[in-house]
C-alpha cells in the first residue's frame, strides 16, 4: 500500500535526525498529549497503526510508549488498548530576562545548589569578538530549583583574579550576573545573552529530571570588564517546559 504524504514526511524526519527513533517518537507522542490531540482517558491508536503511520517497526513504537508509561502519561491494558492518563505539564513560570536589571534578579522561591567548584579552569565555549580571556577562572557547577524541582543547570566561570572578593555564601544565593555586579571595584562595560534551543542528553535528563530528548533552552551570558576581559562566562540549560522569553518590541 502506498504511503500518504504525512507518513512519508514523518518517516523521513525520523531518518534524518541523529536522535534514536524511539526517543523522537516519544517526544512526538508527548506533544500529541500536550496539545490535546490525544485526550485524557481516550484510547490511542494501536502499536500496529502507529508503526504504519510513522514508518517504523512495532518494537520502536513499543519502546517509545514504554517511556510515556514510565512517566505516567499513558496506561496499557492487555486486549483493551492504551489510554491517556494525564496531560504533560507546561508550567512556564521561569522567564529568561532580556535586560540587565532583569538578569540581576533571582527567581522567586528559587534555591541554588553548588554541585562543584574548580580553580584554574579556562572556559572553552566562548562567543567571538566580545572580550578576551582572563588568565584563569573558577568554575562553578550549580543547579537551580523551586519547590524541590530543578529548572536550571549552570556552568559559571568567573575571572579568578576577582573571584576571591565574592562572599562564599553568595555562591548559593545570587544569580551569576549579580555575583559579578556586586564585586567592589569591578566595572562591567558590556554584557551579552545568547539563547539557543536543544534537547536533553543523558546527563541533563538526569540532573533536571527530564525525559531524554526533551526540549531545553541553552542560555549563554557573558560580562566584559572595563579592561576588555571576560569577567564572567555562564552557560545555563533551562527546562523547556518551564521557561519563556518575553521581548518587548516597542516602548
Read off the pLDDT band of 202 (50, 70, 90): confident
Instruction: List the one residue out of 95, 100, 121, 114 whose CA is nearest residue 224.
Output: 100
Same domain as 79, residue 105: no
Distances (CA, A) of 151 to 29, 93, 133, 217: 23, 10, 29, 11
43 occurs within a structural domain: yes
Q: Which of 36, 55, 84 is the last residue of a domain?
A: 84
Residue-wise pLDDT for 87-146, tens only, equals 766 555 566 666 766 665 667 778 999 999 999 999 988 888 889 999 999 999 999 998
Q: Which of 54, 84, 114 is the last residue of a domain?
A: 84
What's the confidence (pLDDT) of residue 58?
95
89 occurs within a structural domain: no
Same domain as 119, residue 237: yes
Same domain as 147, residue 35: no
Domain containing residue 25: CATH number:
1.10.10.10
221 occurs within a structural domain: yes
Which has the higher per-residue pLDDT, 208 or 241?
A: 208
Distance of CA 206 to the CA centre of its chain: 12
Same domain as 52, residue 117: no
249 occurs within a structural domain: no
Please, what sign has the CA dihedral across residues 32, 37, 41, 45? Answer: negative
Total domain count, the chain: 2
251 occurs within a structural domain: no
Rounded to the nearest integer, the mean pLDDT of the chain is 85
For residue 66, give its domain range.
Answer: 5-84
Domain containing residue 126: CATH number:
3.40.1410.10
Amino acid at each position: 500500500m502506498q504511503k500518504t504524504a504525512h507518513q512519508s514526511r514523518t518517516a523521513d524526519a525520523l531518518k534524518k535526525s541523529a536522535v534514536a527513533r524511539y526517543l523522537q517518537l516519544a517526544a512526538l507522542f508527548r506533544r500529541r498529549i500536550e496539545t490535546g490531540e490525544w485526550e485524557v482517558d481516550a484510547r490511542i491508536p494501536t502499536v500496529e497503526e502507529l508503526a504504519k503511520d510513522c514508518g517504523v517497526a512495532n518494537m520502536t513504537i513499543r519502546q517509545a510508549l514504554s517511556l510515556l508509561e514510565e512517566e505516567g502519561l499513558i496506561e496499557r491494558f492487555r486486549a483493551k488498548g492504551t489510554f491517556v492518563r494525564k496531560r504533560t505539564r507546561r508550567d512556564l513560570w521561569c522567564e529568561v530576562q532580556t535586560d540587565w536589571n532583569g538578569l540581576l534578579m533571582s527567581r522567586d522561591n528559587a534555591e541554588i545548589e553548588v554541585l562543584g567548584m574548580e580553580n584554574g579552569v579556562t572556559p572553552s565555549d566562548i562567543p567571538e569578538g566580545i572580550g578576551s580571556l582572563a588568565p584563569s577562572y573558577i568554575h562553578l557547577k550549580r543547579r537551580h530549583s523551586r519547590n524541590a524541582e530543578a529548572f536550571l543547570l549552570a556552568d559559571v566561570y568567573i575571572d579568578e583574579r576577582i573571584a576571591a572578593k565574592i562572599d562564599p555564601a553568595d555562591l548559593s544565593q545570587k544569580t551569576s550576573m549579580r555575583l559579578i555586579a556586586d564585586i567592589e571595584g569591578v566595572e562591567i562595560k558590556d554584557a551579552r545573552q545568547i539563547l539557543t534551543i536543544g534537547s536533553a542528553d543523558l546527563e541533563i535528563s538526569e540532573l533536571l529530571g527530564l525525559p531524554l530528548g526533551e526540549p531545553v533552552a541553552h542560555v549563554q551570558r557573558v560580562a566584559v570588564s572595563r579592561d576588555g576581559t571576560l569577567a564572567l562566562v555562564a552557560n545555563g540549560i533551562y527546562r523547556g517546559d518551564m521557561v519563556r522569553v518575553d521581548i518587548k518590541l516597542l516602548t
